[in-house]
Structure 1
């Protein structure tokens, strides 16, 4: 398939807000792809690279070579070039990588160059988010949507599932199972304003400490251990103490779900930024281990010695977990039906410096990749993970800095973002410096006052309430919104939706 076909599909997706039309565009493109290209096509239209990281930054793409006049570049050729970029290393690799990049881009037309640049930087806004992509795979392959959804949850990404569905139909999708060494999408929690609201009257629930750290999925196969983040990126080599912990567990093959957090000498958790810096750093792991120790707590067991536990009730998974993992590496939890006891546990966790609690249904299965009713998080304040849509230049002491950010929630029906307000509160000087550079990198256009950006940077916002507002298209606005932190561990597709915002207000 010519890359030009993908570029046109991307443009068609941007030009319509109708979900059915988006699904039809993607399904037609998947059907037109060659068998060996389907996975790559699905990945690119999902704004995902099969290689995950190419090591190509904004500076490398700030100046493009002369473009080709005729569209001849194929999807397979792009994938091959990306594979070279991802695997080239060692002495002289910089020059080699520049040559690969120049050769690729010089063969692309101007519109293809812009598409490839966005793809390499993770900033193609084309609307083929999960809901559209999975429906398109089901339509193109003529298979049940539920079969596609479960396969993607277990495979992690849409690309390989599209390939399986198009080549083998429903039976190929049903053959997709949990594989040790391949990360699956983590189960997510809904939100409730307080513990009582998260409890089911008269029904004992499990309450677990909610840690403000990095979600960690641990896979063990013999002596080999792999660690993956919430976004399915591998960070094994950065956490040697966690590797040692998992390797010592008495099982041959395992998949565990947990959280790791940097801790102070007194045992209290460090702010998220400290943990994020530790897990993102490529510095010497031994040095980091000494300077920034981690505490890891596992709370779920998904697989043990060739037995999948995903569909077993949570209580059974926890029973197996407790028999396997030492108490020092397990999450703190209680089992109670008393709202009073639950509220006291919540208060104790907040007092200890943690985010709050997660209330879990003891009978729930592990719903990989979904935010269901089985898990409900409770924090001591209202927070949302929103997407930055634009940024305004500051004034006074903030002159020359990008300051006031425009906040958007995701509309799950269209894949677009709905503005909920602006804020400049909660920003430190360091944060202002960072976002001034960051948002100029994401710029799509600007005027004298505002820089408009690709909607991909997620920010965690605290707020006091939601009010109706005719000023914004969603008909509501956040009250006293303030920045808590930028969430580089989340993609725009994982941001909170308009429905979540309305639920907070009870609308």
Structure 2
């Protein structure tokens, strides 16, 4: 079978027409179950998700807005000025490409019919193109696809390459679709979800579901060097609530660092952030420490990496961020910003998966395989409390040592991938902060004209996946932080009007505020009063930002009425 791309894009059109998650899952399910060829099944699943490479490979296509405008111009005869004007009007380069192909000023006499495979592998070629002359190669590849595309094909080719598909397919919808297509019931979604949490690649999961069914999915194992979805904690309403729910608990320090997932395969070590970014090269000191002090041949362990001063107290998170982002002068950074690894869990050891074991047993295994070394590697500081006062004193100790707070965990709980579930609870400061996405910004004036100095923030509607604005923030940043955010955001500008810009959602930041107010001026219906910058959340993806329901709950907890 050689599926034509023009036939494939009909599914995009159908998905765009509905906001119902159930309908989207049903549309995808009916489409996938008809595909016999495994290669096409993998490709179509990836493209429906809007991906050309699996997330864990961390390969971006590297096509900026201006390069795409140039490609559309090259293929259609429209001037870049005309395309930019259309972009301002339509707000979507995919729709611009569709318009321009419909109304081409230069005719292509013979158009080749594009197959799904050809489109996919050409897009992979774009992503793998690097070095001198790579932009021209990308331009030629995009132009080839556009030259041979029909208007509707052009729309989705451009959107996919820019990684802005806009058809509203989140991970949960694909899980439902695969379970319905190949396990014949959405009731089996937990089986598909289990496999995806381990493999983190729907294109692999779907083929296993098709060929091996439920048993194949339940028997997947972690692949060393490929990050799994981690278990997530909930913010506790109070210490008392957690103690009342779970009789068998442990309290651990919540360190002021970044969560690290560490894979060991004999002498090979990988370090992944919570966002599944490979940061191994930035932490050669942690790599050597793990080789020396983790006695298992193969394992996946989790912990927190944090920057320490001479007194073993945490340096500001911004210092740690310098190490996370540094690509050069690594040895110098190791001396200037030393770090320590504090481990708290293990999910895989020497061929055995441990996630079904209770935390108590997983911790025992962790102690067996880790040799602690001062200022290098330790098991997270913990207590097994007998009273609430012990927990409060432990929290007080964590704060005195300048750590973020504590975690309270159920010792009887298994490891549950990728979800905020009961079992792990965060105890932090009473005043809640929010993790929000920057979706727009405004250039400064006067001495600050070189920086983007005000930032439009958004939370996520968990029902639609849409990002909804909830306020502007311009305080709490140093000049270095203004420069850092400007360097990042200026590369992601997709639309500009005067001093205001719209940016591709990519950066999550932690924001403090005085209170939350009702407001018709923002899409969420809420506005933050006196929002202030706390830090960039390098460890969070935009899918992990705070939700509209959490903003609503925090608003109601203030005691206000609508």
Q: So what's the TM-score if we normalise by structure 2?
A: 0.80
1:254 maps onto 2:308 in alignment: no
Structure 1 equivalent of residue 236 of structure 2: 192
Distance 1:116 1:287 in 2: 44
The CA deviation at 1:75 is 3.5
Structure 1 equivalent of residue 43 of structure 2: 40
Structure 2 equivalent of residue 234 of structure 1: 278
Q: Encode CA deviations 1:163-190: one digit per residue, 9 max, x unaligned.
A: 3223433233223223333321111111
Distance 1:290 1:172 in 2: 47
The CA deviation at 1:11 is 5.3
Would you say the 8 A contact 2:259–2:539 is kept in 1? no
Distance 1:334 1:253 in 2: 28
Would you say the 8 A contact 2:468–2:524 is kept in 1? yes
Would you say the 8 A contact 2:119–2:145 is kept in 1? no
Q: Encode CA deviations 1:179-204: one digit per residue, 9 max, x unaligned.
A: 33332111111113554454436835
Q: Encode CA deviations 1:263-293: one digit per residue, 9 max, x unaligned.
A: 2233222222322331332215434333332
The CA deviation at 1:317 is 0.8
Q: Encode CA deviations 1:179-235: one digit per residue, 9 max, x unaligned.
A: 333321111111135544544368352121112322211112222222222122323
Structure 2 equivalent of residue 344 of structure 1: 393
Structure 2 equivalent of residue 359 of structure 1: 408
Q: SS where residue 185 of structure 1 aligns?
A: coil
Q: SS where residue 269 of structure 2 aligns?
A: strand
Distance 2:537 2:154 in 1: 29
Q: Pick which of 40-49 and 362-371 moved more.
A: 40-49
Task: Decide which of 404, 410, 419 is 2:454's aligned counterpart.
Answer: 404
Structure 2 equivalent of residue 128 of structure 1: 169
Distance 1:32 1:432 in 2: 51
1:496 maps onto 2:546 in alignment: yes
Cα gap change, 1:94 to 1:504, in 2 (>3 Å): same
Would you say the 8 A contact 2:67–2:139 is kept in 1? no
Q: Encode CA deviations 1:225-246: one digit per residue, 9 max, x unaligned.
A: 2222212232333322222222
Structure 2 equivalent of residue 77 of structure 1: 118
Q: So what's the TM-score if we normalise by structure 1?
A: 0.88
Distance 1:431 1:310 in 2: 39
Structure 1 equivalent of residue 139 of structure 2: 102
Q: Pick which of 10-19 and 324-333 moved more.
A: 10-19
Structure 1 equivalent of residue 21 of structure 2: 19
Give the unaligned 5+ runs of structure 1.
Answer: none
Would you say the 8 A contact 1:125–1:454 is kept in 2? no
The CA deviation at 1:23 is 2.3
Distance 1:138 1:21 in 2: 14
The CA deviation at 1:74 is 3.5
Would you say the 8 A contact 1:467–1:476 is kept in 2? yes
Distance 1:6 1:54 in 2: 23
Distance 1:306 1:419 in 2: 46
The CA deviation at 1:363 is 1.2
Structure ID, larger Rg: 2
Give the unaligned 5+ runs of structure 2.
Answer: 77-107, 558-562
Q: SS where residue 200 of structure 1 aligns?
A: helix
Cα gap change, 1:204 to 1:481, in 2 (>3 Å): farther
Distance 1:503 1:191 in 2: 12
Distance 1:470 1:357 in 2: 37
Distance 1:60 1:385 in 2: 32
Q: SS where residue 369 of structure 1 aligns?
A: coil
Cα gap change, 1:288 to 1:473, in 2 (>3 Å): closer
Would you say the 8 A contact 1:123–1:456 is kept in 2? no
Structure 2 equivalent of residue 160 of structure 1: 204
Would you say the 8 A contact 1:357–1:377 is kept in 2? yes
Structure 1 equivalent of residue 536 of structure 2: 486
Task: Decide which of 66, 71, 95 is 1:64's aligned counterpart.
Answer: 71
Q: SS where residue 482 of structure 2 aligns?
A: helix
Q: Pick which of 310-319 and 435-444 moved more.
A: 435-444
Cα gap change, 1:429 to 1:15, in 2 (>3 Å): farther
Q: Which has the higher contact order (CA 8 A, sep 6+)?
A: 1
Task: Decide which of 242, 263, 266 is 2:308's aligned counterpart.
Answer: 263
1:321-470 to structure 2, matched below 5 A, reads: 321-328=366-373, 329-380=378-429, 381-394=431-444, 398-399=448-449, 401-448=451-498, 450-470=500-520
C-alpha RMSD over aligned residues: 3.1
Distance 1:120 1:442 in 2: 14
Distance 1:47 1:273 in 2: 33
Q: When the two structures are aligned, how many residues end up with a matched partner?
A: 503
Q: SS where residue 323 of structure 1 aligns?
A: helix
Would you say the 8 A contact 1:205–1:361 is kept in 2? yes
